[in-house]
A and B are shown apart, each in its own frame.
Chain A
């Protein structure tokens, strides 16, 4: 009898058990649920359970469970109608600080959720929803930057009292002409000092003294990055407003953004929302004591003022009608640290036009308040009794920042006295309100829920049919060793599903095809082993020796042949995208797990079944 190491048996049991636990959540199915999170992304308040209970109790809505899951609060219901009623009630009662989204939440019991076991997320082709691939027009962003310098540089030179005789844009460069080389050199020195992001050069064969200012490579990259980031932020904010559970807004490559909205069925609405415009305005504050409060109460607003509310705390505030600077003049906004106080701050850069007006205003208003107003056009969709969509446009404007002007400033300035998070949030909002580079939809996929359900059903049927056929065939053809292979195949399925669930890999239709294909290919290892055992038996080896030799000799062949499939899968993973990557992942996991179950799994089974028996022949 050949000794068989205990650790192999143990590792097999441990691996299968772990995989089984993590695969389990996929069996529980889903319940209609409402998912609630805060708009700001902050943690939910401590008494949130009571708030939800109160909101639901007001409408006599019963729920199945109500608990926090990560940063979200999830309430599960018995049926979709209750879910819809509850979502309406919660939206109404909780107010605008929360995102209330419909979702299908897994019915995974709490003890499984506690070890982090979650079902595989379903791809859009199985669940239905909208997928958009957006391309940021980086040429436009670059052109806008050149255009800005074309305005800014002459203004700057005038202020420095350096006379230029001509200016024009040439490709992605700003060309400045001067009367004398001395003036040009003077200008070059001044510009180099102020605009470090520009690469300056003097063309050799120009007729008149000429200076060329070009965006440096790092600056050009920064502009593209900024344009994409800016759009990402805006899109995230908009998508949050949609109230979609588990949306994805992700950068893809240099200049693309992927938006995935599971469960959303109306791409028109999505595109309207994504296309909605936001802007911001710097305005002076009417500081008359009590004026804002009385205006809010009486509705009588002084003629030069407009009444707004602050986003945080919803306090009334009166702003002067005159706009100092607005979104399109904002070049950059970034969280930073104030060098004087060492506290978090937001640094803002304006273009020349904005900078001039800002300087004029701040030099006359040191010690006074200045506010940032964030304006957005939103489109709300409601449904009438017939279920038809009604779209309503309305402008939303609120004050996102109020600060005291400490000294005159123009092009660059800082807003200080913020917490780290406030600085981050404010810079994001400022970016969102600045004029963003245009985006273009380059790919759109909308999958209806019925198609998704059909795909799940079909994939399931194909998988079950394939599994049963292979199991029956193997048992008939290889007898007991066929049954070993069948057990290995079952373990294989558990391992694949478990691994995909642990990785939280999105299950797609090609992914299901990958699993089904793996079922057929997985038994190959056992076929190789079993054929080899038969061969060794024919050569006259004793059953036990033939078994050991069969496993040993087949191993290298199995490894070699699987590596090539793995190469193809890797190529697919790195060059493919979306569903194809899903297919590649399932294929790779399938190859690894089928090798493990076929070699270690069946070997262990064979060992324990035939241990200590005197065998005349092997049932292979």
Chain B
């Protein structure tokens, strides 16, 4: 089976300026979303208490809220989790959670008391999950998360510089920044909860997105060396066209498994799947327009990739002065 009967010939680079402008506008929107709306940080980052309970049958959230209010938890955020019989309750972090002494009595298990409060009226409630994250742990995680993003960027920049050239590195990083902003912006837009697993998804997505860029760059390098007569812009276009089919197929298989995770994997990997799916779609675009576009913008030349010794060698072989 074949999608294209021959290598397509689409002039991607002709639209590169429009594409860069469109990306600029979208990035500004995404950044504005991140600044003004923010990410819906999960308990991992924000700290607090989270209790997931399962009722034997459907339950109205208002009832749960009323019961919690009676038990002294007026500040609880209550929502369905999955079905209408599973309820997720969020509470701010209790102060002075300590082991031993009276402090323990005070806060030994908010979860246990929440369950007692709810269980007073309704029998057969089961506790699915309790999570408590102290505020300082959350802060550290946010810091570690930011460091992780920066470290990933730096690692990828250095690797591409080592394997290719700094102009390609700049192109890669531009694409990665674009993908990260877009994905985070989308997560902010749909209010998907941002927890550790989602952060892992975003980082994996960055690795994957750069994978795309590298495949194109690899072809660009090969074509620059083999097709010496053709102008650089044309070669970039050709390389994108040559790798287009592969990109489509790979994205397709990755999107297939991600939708399996999205539909069957349950809530705990939901955000991960969303982040990756958005990332995959955005990466297709950015690997063509952003990474290649920026590389062209930086005025990439054939000489940047063909090492000077290479010229020296070919030069000498022409003279026949080779041992």
Q: What separation, in Å, do the CA atoms of A474 and B254 have in the docked complex? A: 12
Chain B residues whose CB sits within 8 angstroms of the CB of A553 once the complex forms: 222
**Interface check B106, CB cutoff 8 A:** no
**Interface check B299, CB cutoff 8 A:** no
Q: What separation, in Å, do the CA atoms of A560 and B220 have in the docked complex? A: 14
Count the B residues whose beta carbon is within 8 Å of the partner chain — how many? Answer: 78
- Whether the Cβ atoms of A133 and B137 lie closer than 8 Å is yes
Which of B134, B156, B245, B276 contacts A442 (CB under 8 A)? B134
Which of A265, A447, A517 has the most CB atoms of chain B within a 10 A radius of its CB? A517
- Whether the Cβ atoms of B254 and A465 lie closer than 8 Å is no
Chain A interface residues toward B at CB < 8 A = 125, 133-135, 265, 267-268, 271-272, 274-277, 438-448, 450-451, 454-455, 458-459, 461-463, 465-466, 469-470, 473-474, 476-479, 509-510, 512-514, 516-517, 519-521, 523-524, 527-528, 531, 535, 538, 553, 556-557, 560-572, 574-576, 578-580, 583-584, 587
A and B contact pairs by CB, cutoff 8 A, 28 listed? A275-B104, A276-B100, A438-B99, A441-B99, A443-B134, A445-B131, A450-B126, A450-B128, A458-B265, A458-B266, A465-B263, A465-B264, A466-B261, A470-B256, A509-B197, A510-B200, A510-B272, A512-B269, A523-B253, A527-B249, A527-B250, A556-B218, A560-B218, A565-B211, A569-B204, A569-B207, A576-B200, A580-B199
- Whether the Cβ atoms of A448 and B129 lie closer than 8 Å is yes
Residue of A nearest to B268 (CB): A509
- Whether the Cβ atoms of B218 and A557 lie closer than 8 Å is yes
Chain B 236-256, CB-CB to A under 8 Å as 1, else 0, gives 000000100110011011111
Q: What separation, in Å, do the CA atoms of A481 and B213 have in the docked complex? A: 25
Beyond contacts A275-B101, A564-B207: 5 other A-B pairs, Cβ-Cβ < 8 A, are A133-B137, A439-B100, A442-B137, A517-B261, A563-B163
Q: What separation, in Å, do the CA atoms of A520 and B99 have in the docked complex? A: 46
Chain A residues whose CB sits within 8 angstroms of the CB of B147 once the complex forms: 575
Which of B144, B208, B266 contacts A454 (CB under 8 A)? B266
- Whether the Cβ atoms of B130 and A444 lie closer than 8 Å is yes
- Whether the Cβ atoms of B204 and A557 lie closer than 8 Å is no
Which of A450, A519, A538, A567 contacts B159 (CB under 8 A)? A567
**Interface check B300, CB cutoff 8 A:** no
Chain B 183-200, CB-CB to A under 8 Å as 1, else 0, gives 000000000000011011
Which of A267, A465, A478, A564 has the most CB atoms of chain B within a 10 A radius of its CB? A564
- Whether the Cβ atoms of B218 and A576 lie closer than 8 Å is no
Which of A441, A520, A570, A579 contacts B256 (CB under 8 A)? A520
- Whether the Cβ atoms of A268 and B197 lie closer than 8 Å is no
- Whether the Cβ atoms of A440 and B253 lie closer than 8 Å is no
- Whether the Cβ atoms of A462 and B265 lie closer than 8 Å is yes
**Interface check B289, CB cutoff 8 A:** no
- Whether the Cβ atoms of B197 and A583 lie closer than 8 Å is yes
Which of A438, A561, A576 contacts B100 (CB under 8 A)? A438
**Interface check B294, CB cutoff 8 A:** no
7 closest cross-chain pairs (CB), A and B: A568-B207, A520-B257, A442-B134, A565-B207, A466-B257, A275-B100, A458-B266
Q: What separation, in Å, do the CA atoms of A271 and B104 have in the docked complex? A: 8
Chain A residues whose CB sits within 8 angstroms of the CB of B91 once the complex forms: none
Q: What separation, in Å, do the CA atoms of A568 and B159 have in the docked complex? A: 12
Q: Determine, out of B10-18, B107-115, B311-319, the stretch whose residues face the partner at the interface.
A: B107-115
Which of A268, A535, A580 contacts B200 (CB under 8 A)? A580
Q: What separation, in Å, do the CA atoms of A451 and B127 have in the docked complex? A: 9
- Whether the Cβ atoms of A580 and B197 lie closer than 8 Å is yes
Chain A residues whose CB sits within 8 angstroms of the CB of B137 once the complex forms: 133, 442-443
Chain A residues whose CB sits within 8 angstroms of the CB of B207 once the complex forms: 564-569
Chain B residues whose CB sits within 8 angstroms of the CB of A267 once the complex forms: 109, 111-112, 130
Q: What separation, in Å, do the CA atoms of A476 and B136 have in the docked complex? A: 53
Q: What separation, in Å, do the CA atoms of A267 and B129 have in the docked complex? A: 11
- Whether the Cβ atoms of A517 and B254 lie closer than 8 Å is yes
Chain B residues whose CB sits within 8 angstroms of the CB of A514 once the complex forms: 204
- Whether the Cβ atoms of B99 and A439 lie closer than 8 Å is yes
- Whether the Cβ atoms of B257 and A271 lie closer than 8 Å is no
Q: What separation, in Å, do the CA atoms of A459 and B257 have in the docked complex? A: 12
Chain B residues whose CB sits within 8 angstroms of the CB of A562 once the complex forms: 211
- Whether the Cβ atoms of A455 and B156 lie closer than 8 Å is no
Q: What separation, in Å, do the CA atoms of A571 and B109 have in the docked complex? A: 35
Chain B residues whose CB sits within 8 angstroms of the CB of A527 once the complex forms: 246, 249-250, 253
Residue of B nearest to A447 (CB): B129
Chain A residues whose CB sits within 8 angstroms of the CB of B219 once the complex forms: 557
Chain B 135-166, CB-CB to A under 8 Å as 1, else 0, gives 01100000011011001100110011001000
Chain A residues whose CB sits within 8 angstroms of the CB of B206 once the complex forms: 568
Q: What separation, in Å, do the CA atoms of A521 and B246 have in the docked complex? A: 12
Q: What separation, in Å, do the CA atoms of A458 and B273 have in the docked complex? A: 14
Q: What separation, in Å, do the CA atoms of A458 and B52 have in the docked complex? A: 18
- Whether the Cβ atoms of B109 and A271 lie closer than 8 Å is yes
Which of B99, B111, B152, B210 contacts A446 (CB under 8 A)? B111
Q: What separation, in Å, do the CA atoms of A265 and B148 have in the docked complex? A: 33
**Contact status of A580 and B266, CB under 8 A, knowing A447-B129, A448-B126, A448-B127:** no
Q: What separation, in Å, do the CA atoms of A551 and B15 have in the docked complex? A: 33
Residue of B nearest to A556 (CB): B218
Q: What separation, in Å, do the CA atoms of A274 and B100 have in the docked complex? A: 8
Which of B148, B208, B263 contacts A565 (CB under 8 A)? B208
**Contact status of A465 and B98, CB under 8 A, knowing A520-B253, A567-B207, A587-B204:** no
Q: What separation, in Å, do the CA atoms of A438 and B103 have in the docked complex? A: 11
**Contact status of A561 and B214, CB under 8 A, knowing A442-B134, A568-B203:** yes
Residue of B nearest to A570 (CB): B155
Residue of B nearest to A531 (CB): B246
**Contact status of A446 and B257, CB under 8 A, knowing A461-B264, A462-B264, A579-B196:** no
- Whether the Cβ atoms of A477 and B1 lie closer than 8 Å is yes
**Contact status of A531 and B245, CB under 8 A, knowing A268-B108, A523-B253, A564-B211:** yes
Chain A residues whose CB sits within 8 angstroms of the CB of B253 once the complex forms: 470, 473-474, 520-521, 523-524, 527
**Contact status of A274 and B112, CB under 8 A, knowing A561-B215, A575-B147:** no
Q: What separation, in Å, do the CA atoms of A287 and B214 have in the docked complex? A: 83
**Contact status of A560 and B163, CB under 8 A, knowing A455-B268, A473-B253, A520-B258:** yes
